[in-house]
Amino acid sequence: MDPQALTTLFGIPGFYEQQLALNLPPKLPPDQPTSPLSFHPSTPVSKYYDPPYNLSLNTTAQHIIWYPPEAFVEYPETSVGGTLHVFQGITPATILPHLNIVYSLGSPKGQSTSAEPRKCKGILVDAQGNDMLCVRKLRTCQGSKVCPHADLDMLVAPHTKASCSDISDRFRTAFLNEKGLATSCHELYDKTIAFFSSLTQGCLHRHSIETEFTPEEREAKTLAQARVLEIRRGQKIDEGLCEGRLKLMEDAFGGYYIQCEHYPPESVRDHRISGSLQESDTNHLIAPFDNDQEALDAIEEKARSCGYGGLTACPYTTNSTSKRVICPYTHVNPPTLHRIPCAAKFIMYIPLDLNICPNVAILCQHEHPHPIPTPSKTPPAVACAILDTLLSMGSDVATLTPRRFMQHPVTRAMLRK
């Protein structure tokens, strides 16, 4: 924005230059109210209020941030006293800014009706400075999902602001830590766990011989099936498969192999048999088949001392909207993800007539006591830009591949804008 225009706006000569010299964001003087219709900064501008600014009878904000038109905010800053984000240049055809927020928003929630409109005092006004009638929407942050084996003391550290660079740094740190632990022992451990996980699926041959189970085995099998049904989110489990037990066998040369108890050597050999155990830790496989808990504990403790395995702190977190039930990382018993609740509020003020007042305000209250969520969906603004790009390619869409799309002149022109 032109410094002369800012000087006229603030009413204080040299105010903007003083803020720049101190490397501070320009703050609006408390005695100089600003009309949202005439204030169009080229970059976000903040103003702090002490005492808090009264938006309504029971709602206040200590911090107000003005955004230029077409601003894109995924992680709006929040505070205990309330941070108000004012987005300008919003038209009836524009995507509302709250749809770009990464935080999962849900209950408790509410919305005023057009018959009972609200006002955002002094912020959402018309050209004459009169307060506009608005629809007020309330949404609550739904928190995040984390692995129970995570370092919860570190993950529940509250945050009030975040950015995509914070997410990138977290993934980069996790990748470097994983890369630093890429030893032969770690690789052998992962292959053994992966192979044993495949064995938990059973024989997978069509049902041909009835298997007799003890009451304890039948109860454990019922619980296991309920667990699988929960993981598959209600999708039916394949029926008509062999229920035979898998046994660890030793051949004449001292080697080991795994086969179904119904595997018949002299007849049709369709039941499961696995002899490729060379890439797995045999001692690690023998322990669960022998129910040797002490051996398993020793193996897991050795892996933990080397920085990997199911007993180490798990870094996995995901958005609350994720449908995943269990942690995808390697664990002795895959745990159910733990949800960390959040009480942060998002209050949206949307004028009934955006043609008269093309501004939208979002008030963020309270801290987020959970990890910074990762983006789980494409922001509507980005999705619209991609769709517009595809429509402008014409007949080239029929032969597009991901590489051709990225190298297409239309895509490059869109990215340069």
Residue-range domain boundaries for the chain: 3-146+342-416
What is the reported pLDDT for 332? Answer: 64
Q: How many Cα atoms within 13 Å fall on the side-chain side of residue 284?
A: 24
Sort 305 into a burial class: Cβ within 10 Å, 0-12 / 13-18 / 19+. Answer: exposed
Which pLDDT score, from 0 to 100, does residue 85 have? 92
Q: What is the pLDDT of residues 63-90, one digit of tens each?
A: 889 888 888 888 999 988 899 999 988 8
Rounded-to-integer distance, Cα 304 and Cα 222, Å: 32
Q: Which residue has the higher pLDDT, 217 or 58?
A: 58
The Cα–Cα gap between 148 and 314 comes to: 8
242 touches 208 (CB < 8 A): yes
Beta strands in 261-344 (DSSP E): 273-274, 317-319, 338-340
Identify which of 130, 127, 122 has the alpha carbon closest to the alpha carbon of residue 34. 122
pTM summary value: 0.69
pLDDT at 347 (0 to 100)? 92
Q: What is the pLDDT of residue 36?
A: 45
- State the DSSP code for 240: S
Mean model confidence pLDDT for the chain = 78
pLDDT above 90 as % of the chain: 6
